[in-house]
Amino acid sequence: MKRRDIQADILSVISDGKIWTMKEIAEKVEVSYKTVYRHIHELSYRFNIQISCGGIQRGGVQLILERKVSVESLTNEDIDVIIITLSTVAKTNERITQFICMLAKFKKEELQAYNI
């Protein structure tokens, strides 16, 4: 089996977002454990693949389908850092300025503090 075929098959198996063990993937794709291990590590550079070892979740491989950061989970200090950093380039792009305004609403502070 060619490398790209193996990787495509592995991605097909883990694309459901559930946690799979290396052994389960190897059985589905009909390759060895070591082959799955090698390809999972190669794929993890291109895809958001989480690899866990043991513990409560028994370990395994999971393709993370979405990765979103909720603004509500950010602290005021986090928002300050983002706004200050983006403010350095805000004058070159109107969309960045709009994004900064949206972030500032979560803090309910005046934009004047950031010199925008």
57 and 78 together in one domain: no
Among 80, 85, 44, which Cα is nearest to 61's?
A: 44
Render pLDDT for 45-57 as a digit per residue (tens, 0 to 9): 888 888 888 755 5
Q: How many angstroms separate the Cα of 43 from the Cα of each of 6, 48, 68, 76, 86?
A: 11, 9, 21, 36, 32
Tokens at 76, concatenated: 């005021």
Say which CATH number the domain at 48 has.
Answer: 1.10.10.10
Task: Work out how many domains the chain is built from and give that number.
Answer: 2
Render pLDDT for 57-84 as a digit per residue (tens, 0 to 9): 577 899 988 766 666 677 788 888 888 8
Q: What is the DSSP string of 28-75?
A: HHTS-HHHHHHHHHHHTTTS-EEEE-STTTT-EEEE-------GGGS-
95 and 76 together in one domain: yes
7 and 49 together in one domain: yes
Structural domain boundaries enclosing 10? 3-63
78 and 53 together in one domain: no
**Whole-model pTM?**
0.55
